[in-house]
Each structure stands twice: as structure tokens, then as C-alpha cells.
């Protein structure tokens, strides 16, 4: 059976665990040669790269601090150096720091912006010179861009609203070059970022489908947007939330 994305090259930021690792696995399964960044979990990253290679795919794990612009640019350069070009950029790296407004430090505010917002711009800016027509930029946002839901999520929500707005502007910038730019907005999903059983129990009754999402389900939407059938979708925020916002 032919692989739908055979021959494509991708870079996934924050790809060593959780949703990021699921995206790396799905793209590799669909025929993509995948580079991915990791911050600190070198063992997990190398194990993931080895898993993909053992299955007949191509993968490159790159240690990079998403909060450092030069590190992000280096990851793009290494991807292009290894594979020759770049077709798909998935901006997935992100952090979640909670706190109500009168307890949230300015240092944490700056850290959230530095990891969740700035690298989306930096990585896209570095990637697009290596992309041709049919290129894809996909950012993993969050439904919190539209609904915070609980106290303590204001700054996280702000960062996800910012990348949704940035996506619309980038789509206008890059549309004439044939490059699409979209953001996906997952709802509550079972990942290590959202592993608190008490929090999951609180959220589950709010889900129309009665359960949290799976990381592989989020990855499937990324794979669709990366493929040829999504060539007329750009500047969009696509919700994948099990009815959380319904």
C-alpha cells in the first residue's frame, strides 16, 4: 500500500513525548522523513528515533531549547542539512504553567510566551525559505484559545489565542507561495501534561463523548492537514475536542 506522504520531509518541535511523539509516529507511518526536537528527555527522543528507523523510516532527534531562537533556527538548519529540504513544519512544543492572576509571576508569564508563542514565529520564519509550493505549517494550539474553562489558565489561554491569530496572518503572508498555515486546537487529551487524575475526573463530564482525547487522534488531524486533500485549507483553527466546546 502506498504511503500518502511518501518522500516528504518534516520537522516537529517538541516531538519526543505526548502529542508530539504521536505526531512523529503518524507522519513516519505515512512515509515522512521526520526530524523532531526535544528539550531534555534525550533517552525518550533517541528511543523514538530508533523505533522509527527499525520500522524502515527515517528520523532525526535534535536537542533544542524552544525558548532560544538560535536553537530553533539550528533545528531547522539541521533538518535541511540532513534531508535536503523541508515540506512540513509542525509547531508543537509548549508548556502549561497555571496560576490565578494575582499569584502568577512575571517570570512565568515571560516563560510561557517564550515557549508557546515566539518559537512558532521563529521556526516558521526559518523554515519557509526551504519550502516550496505545497508546503505546510501546522501549529498545535488549544481550545483554551476560545474557552479557558477553569481559573488559573488565563496566560496559557492568551498564548494559544496568540498563535491562532498569528496563524491567520501567516496564512495571508504565505498563501501566494502555495504554503498553507493552520492551527489545530485540541481539547482535554490524555498526555503527560494532563496526567492529573483529579483534573481528568473534573473535565470528563464536560466532554460530549464522555472521555478525553487520545494523542493518536490529534496526530491524525495533523497528518490530514499535511496531506494533499487539505490543500485548500489555510488560515483555519480546527477544533478537535470531543465536543468540549459544544
Active site residue ranges: 156
**Contact between 167 and 142 (Cβ < 8 Å):** no
CB within 8 Å of 153: residues ≥ 6 apart: 98, 144
Terminal-to-terminal C-alpha distance of the chain: 37
C-alpha–C-alpha distance, residues 107 and 210, integer Å: 37
E-strand stretches of 18-87: 33-38, 59-63
**Contact between 138 and 89 (Cβ < 8 Å):** yes
* C-alpha R_g of the chain: 17
* The three cell numbers locating residue 211: 472521555
Long-range contacts of 76-81 (CB under 8 A, 24+ apart): 76/11, 76/123, 76/126, 76/127, 76/130, 77/126, 78/35, 79/9, 79/11, 79/35, 80/130
* The three cell numbers locating residue 70: 538560535
C-alpha–C-alpha distance, residues 47 and 64, integer Å: 17
CB atoms within 10 A of CB 22: 23
Amino acid at each position: 500500500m502506498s504511503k500518502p506522504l511518501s518522500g516528504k520531509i518534516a520537522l516537529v518541535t517538541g516531538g519526543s513525548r505526548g502529542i508530539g511523539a504521536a505526531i512523529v509516529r503518524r507522519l513516519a507511518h505515512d512515509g515522512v522523513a521526520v526530524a523532531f526536537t526535544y528539550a531534555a528527555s534525550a533517552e525518550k527522543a533517541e528511543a523514538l528515533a530508533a523505533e522509527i528507523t527499525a520500522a524502515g523510516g527515517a528520523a532525526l532527534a535534535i536537542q533544542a531549547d524552544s525558548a532560544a531562537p538560535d536553537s530553533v533556527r539550528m533545528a531547522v538548519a539541521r533538518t535541511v542539512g540532513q534531508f535536503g529540504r523541508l515540506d512540513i513544519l509542525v509547531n508543537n512544543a509548549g508548556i502549561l504553567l497555571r496560576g490565578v492572576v494575582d499569584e502568577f509571576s512575571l517570570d512565568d508569564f515571560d516563560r510561557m510566551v517564550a515557549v508557546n508563542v515566539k518559537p512558532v514565529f521563529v521556526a516558521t520564519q526559518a523554515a519557509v525559505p526551504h519550502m516550496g509550493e505545497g508546503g505546510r505549517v501546522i501549529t498545535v494550539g488549544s481550545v483554551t484559545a476560545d474557552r479557558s474553562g477553569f481559573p488559573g489558565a488565563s496566560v496559557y489561554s492568551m498564548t494559544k489565542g496568540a498563535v491562532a491569530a498569528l496563524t491567520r496572518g501567516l496564512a495571508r503572508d504565505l498563501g501566494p507561495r502555495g504554503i498553507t498555515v493552520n492551527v489545530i486546537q485540541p481539547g482535554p487529551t490524555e498526555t503527560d501534561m494532563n496526567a492529573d487524575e483529579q483534573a481528568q475526573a473534573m473535565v470528563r463530564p464536560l466532554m460530549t463523548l464522555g472521555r478525553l482525547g487520545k494523542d493518536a487522534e490529534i496526530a491524525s488531524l495533523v497528518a490530514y492537514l499535511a496531506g494533499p486533500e487539505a490543500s485548500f485549507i489555510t488560515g483555519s483553527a480546527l477544533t478537535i475536542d470531543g465536543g468540549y466546546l459544544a
